[in-house]
Amino acid sequence: MTRVVLEGAAYVVTVDDTDTVLRDTTVVVEDGVITDLRSAAAGPVDADETIDARGRLVLPGLVNLHTHLPMTLLRGLAEDVDLQGFLTRVWAAEGAVMDPATVELGATLGALESLLGGCTTQLDMYFHHEAAHRGAVAAGSRHVIGPVFMDGPGPDGLAWEERIALMRAWPAAMAAIGGPAVPVSAMPHATYTCSPEKLAEVVATLREVRGEGPGLLTTHVSENAAENTDVAARYGATPTEVLAGAGWLDGDLPLVVGHGVHLSPADRERLAAAGAAVAHCPGSNQKLASGALPWEAVHDSGVRLGIGTDGCSSSNDLDMWQAMRQAALLARLTSGRPDVASAHEVLRAATLEGAKALGLGDEIGSVEVGKRADLVVVDLEKPHLTPVHDVQALLVFAAGRADVTDVLVDGQPVVRAGRSTRLDTPDLLARARERGATARAAAEAS
Ligand SMILES: [Zn+2]
């Protein structure tokens, strides 16, 4: 048995059912599972590894519910354009450089950025998913990904049958890579890039290949108004209605819709009835001028709300602290009400609700005995975090990535004292600079 102990945390923000905040508490982790939350006054616990959490705060690992990790290499290549302009430029760069080795490099870089900033789980979507998964798992992430589907050849140049074959091979490929447990996932890009018949084929194939194990569906839905117009012209339906027609809302598989900015009230009702979740990406939505998700309407409709950064070619970082803050600020600005999107609600969306959206709510998302230990330690010995009055408000409105000192994923310390325990960071950065230069040349030629 391996025991890791986070000793004497000043605060443990559990995000349990009643939002309990524990004071002066030692967190005991045995073989990856939280086995005890005990008073620090009871004295030290023998451990294989002890992390000094005195004067610090422990919270559940943040869950990024919508991202494209390998796009770290394309950060800044498509600025000051809308979604459609962005896609044109980015697809040119992707076609030129995104082979499996480059995707693995970009995913490793993205996972490292995520982990150093306290984000332990990412719902990722990218071509060459197997390479991306290998990279993110090597960094130490709980990384959820699966084959991407689209009608055309896409940057990877695959035919449709080859994509379906990748889906069939994915459970075994995922098991061979290892890493923390995640669902088998299928990821058509969107209803404007994947026909209704093909969407139906994807869900049928996923049902088949996941067997008794957990599965997950995700795609981009109603990200901006132009997308809704485009889909209405093709099918006389909203993207959500297209998904419903393709058997995506039958409720037997967790479904995460990326963005969902322009869902109609009827769309929201349908998604709620199916137990689906929206991955709200306020940074990307603001930067691409896609619109403002109506937080309260989505929340009240019963659709689960999680938070994502989107790929950092569109939102430029994978910072879940910024995403939490932007979610709260945008919801308040657009509703004209300061009591909308409370810090409690936003922190919950970025942790437990994200975990539930992935079907991992019993495993992760809160600091509770019996759960897997995906944990983040925040240093409170900072001017901007002192004194502590409202701990959730402090986390959402004042804390940031630079305050994270240590990170556990599945009980493994993957970040210690602000550094990766898994990767040769200078080497990784040197390789990323080199591939980034090639991507820039392709985007500029587009
Ligand atoms: Zn996206």
Q: Where in the chain is the domain with CATH 3.20.20.140?
A: 62-357
Ranking 2-6, 97-101, 232-236, 256-260 by mean pLDDT, the lowest is 97-101
Angle of helix 425-445 relative to helix 100-116, nearest 10 degrees, comes to: 120
pTM for this prediction: 0.97
Q: Alpha-carbon distance 383 to 139, whole Å?
A: 31
Nearest residue to 180 (alpha-carbon basis) of 304, 59, 310, 33: 33
Give me 295's structure tokens.
Answer: 């937080």
Could you read off the pLDDT of 263-280 as tens digits, one per residue? Answer: 999 999 999 999 999 999
Instruction: Residue 43: count other Cβ atoms within 10 Å of its Cβ.
Output: 9
Q: Alpha-carbon distance 407 to 59, whole Å?
A: 10
The CA 107 to ligand 1 mean position distance, Å, reads 15
Q: Are 142 and 364 in contact (CB under 8 A)?
A: yes
The CA 292 to ligand 1 mean position distance, Å, reads 16
pLDDT for the residue numbered 143: 98
The CA 377 to ligand 1 mean position distance, Å, reads 28
Nearest residue to 439 (alpha-carbon basis) of 132, 146, 103: 103
State yes or no: pLDDT of 412 exceeds 80: yes
At residue 155 the predicted structure's pLDDT band, cuts being 50, 70 and 90, is: confident
Instruction: Residue 445: count other Cβ atoms within 10 Å of its Cβ.
Output: 9
Q: Which residues contact 80 (CB under 8 A, 6 or more apart)?
A: none
Peptide bond connecting 100 to the previous residue in cis, omega within 30 degrees of 0: no
Instruction: Residue 240: count other Cβ atoms within 10 Å of its Cβ.
Output: 27
Q: How many CA atoms lie within 13 Å of 111's alpha carbon, on the beta-carbon side?
A: 34
CATH second-level architecture of 3-60+366-420?
A: Roll (2.30)
The CA 124 to ligand 1 mean position distance, Å, reads 9
Residue 385 DSSP one-character state: G
Q: Where in the chain is the domain with CATH 2.30.40.10?
A: 3-60+366-420
The CA 258 to ligand 1 mean position distance, Å, reads 6
At residue 432 the predicted structure's pLDDT band, cuts being 50, 70 and 90, is: very high
Could you read off the pLDDT of 330-351 as tens digits, one per residue? Answer: 999 999 999 999 999 999 999 9
Q: Alpha-carbon distance 205 to 178, whole Å?
A: 22
Nearest residue to 413 (alpha-carbon basis) of 56, 20, 61: 61
DSSP bridge pairs for 6: 27, 51
The CA 187 to ligand 1 mean position distance, Å, reads 11
Across 386-396, average pLDDT = 98
**CATH topology classification for 62-357:** TIM Barrel (3.20.20)
Q: Are 250 and 274 in contact (CB under 8 A)?
A: yes
Nearest residue to 311 (alpha-carbon basis) of 340, 271, 344, 279: 279
All residues with CB under 5 Å from ion ligand 1: 258, 310
The CA 220 to ligand 1 mean position distance, Å, reads 6
